[in-house]
Amino acid sequence: MTYDRLVCANCASPVSEGRCPVCRANRARLQQENFMSGLNPMALIALLAVLIAAVALLAHQTA
């Protein structure tokens, strides 16, 4: 889960902004839970494209 869309129940602002201590604590907890949580969807798509290109290149070299 990404925290960029979560809204804090304490201050009613996005958790990603970290306006209150509750937001900052939850943001830190979410970042520690998943090592890929800091990546945005475009970075994940770019990573996937690079992996597909690498597999295609390896398949082309072995054939």
The pLDDT tens digits for 47-57 are 999 999 999 99
| pLDDT tens digit sequence for 4-58 | 677 888 888 887 787 888 888 887 887 776 666 666 788 889 999 999 999 999 9
Predicted model pTM: 0.45
Q: Rounded to 10 degrees, what is the CA torsion of 46, 15, 18, 25?
A: -100
